[in-house]
Amino acid sequence: MTADERQILLGIVERASQELSVEVPEVIAEVGPVYVRSTAATDVTPMLSFKPHPSMMPVRPEEIWMHDRGDGVRKETLFKLYNRRSEVIFYREGWFSDDLTIVEHWGTCGSRGEARSHTHTDKSNARKTYDRLKKVAYEAGFRAIPLSEHAKLVVEYPVAETKAETDLERRHALEDLLDELTGWLGLGHVDGSSIGSGTMEVLSYVVDFQTAKAAIVEALSETAFLDFNRIYRAAT
C-alpha cells in the first residue's frame, strides 16, 4: 500500500468511526478475524493480514466486544465536528471538563464563538448530554474532518544558541498559547515543536490553512511572540 493509499484509507476509517459513534446500526454484519503480527524491532511496522500465520492467534470481533464491555473501556471525551457552507466553515465541539461537566462550543472557524457548560449530579447523565450534543450536531450536517485532511501549519522563530534554556521556556509558552488559540477558534490543535539549526518551530494541525494563518498572525501581533520568521504550510 502506498502512502497516498494509506492516507485515503485512514480518512475512510475515521469518517466511519465518527458515524458509528453517533448511532450504532441495529444489525451489524459478521466479519472475519483480522490477524496482526508484531515484531520486537522498533523500526518495523506490524503486519496486518486477513490470512492466518502459524505464529498468529485470531481474535474474533465478538470476543473483542465482550472484552470491551468491561469498566476498563476508554470512552470518548471530546468531539470536533465541522460543516462547510460556501467559503465558511462552522464548528461544533464538546468535551468533558470534568466527570460531571460538559462544555459545548460552537461558531465559525477563526472566531471564538460561544460556549455553554452543562453540569450534572452523576456521570450517567453527563454522558447522555455529551452523546445528545454530538448527535444533534451530526443530524445538522456536521462531520469530523479526518486528521489526514488537516493542513500542517508551522510557525517559525529565530533562536540563539547561547539562550538555549530561555528559548526552551519560550517554546513551551508558545505551544500553550497556540494550542489554546487554535482550539478556541475552532481551527485545530498543536502537535508539538522542535528547535535546532538556529530556528524554533511549532506545528499545528488545522482544518483551513489560510483562515488559521490570518487568525494566528492577528493574535500574535498582540503578544511577545510577534517576532516570527514566517508561517508556512508543511508538506503532508
Domain endpoint, select from 117, 139, 161: 139
Distance CA(67)–CA(70), nearest Å, equals: 6
Q: What is the mean pLDDT of the chain?
A: 81
Mean pLDDT over residues 8-28, rounded?
Answer: 69
Residue 120's contacts (CB-CB under 8 Å, 6 or more residues apart) are: 100, 101, 102, 126, 129
The pTM of this model reads 0.69
Burial 159-191 (b: 16+ CB within 10 A, else e): beeeeeeebeebbeebbebbbebbbebbbbebe
Which range in 18-22, 55-59, 62-66, 173-177 is most confidently predicted, on average pLDDT? 173-177
Q: What percent of the chain has pLDDT over 90?
A: 51
Same-domain check for residues 154 and 209: yes
Distance CA(17)–CA(12), nearest Å, equals: 9
- What pLDDT sits at residue 11? 74
What total number of domains does the chain contain?
3
CATH number, position 127? 2.20.140
Distance CA(155)–CA(103), nearest Å, equals: 29
Same-domain check for residues 103 and 46: no
- Give per-residue pLDDT as tens, 128-164: 999 999 999 999 999 999 888 999 999 999 987 666 6
**Beta pairing partners, 95:** 78, 103
For residue 201, the SS3 value is: strand
Same-domain check for residues 174 and 212: yes
Same-domain check for residues 168 and 129: no
Burial-class residue 143 by CB neighbours within 10 Å (0-12, 13-18, 19+). Answer: middle
Residue 159 belongs to domain spanning: 148-234
Distance CA(173)–CA(154), nearest Å, equals: 16
Same-domain check for residues 208 and 178: yes
Same-domain check for residues 196 and 175: yes
**Beta pairing partners, 101:** 98, 119
Same-domain check for residues 49 and 103: no
Confidence of residue 92 (pLDDT cuts 50, 70, 90): very high
- Give per-residue pLDDT as tens, 181-233: 999 999 999 998 888 888 899 999 999 999 999 999 999 998 989 999 999 99
Same-domain check for residues 63 and 112: no
Same-domain check for residues 227 and 161: yes
Same-domain check for residues 82 and 62: no
**Is the pLDDT score of 180 beyond 90?**
yes
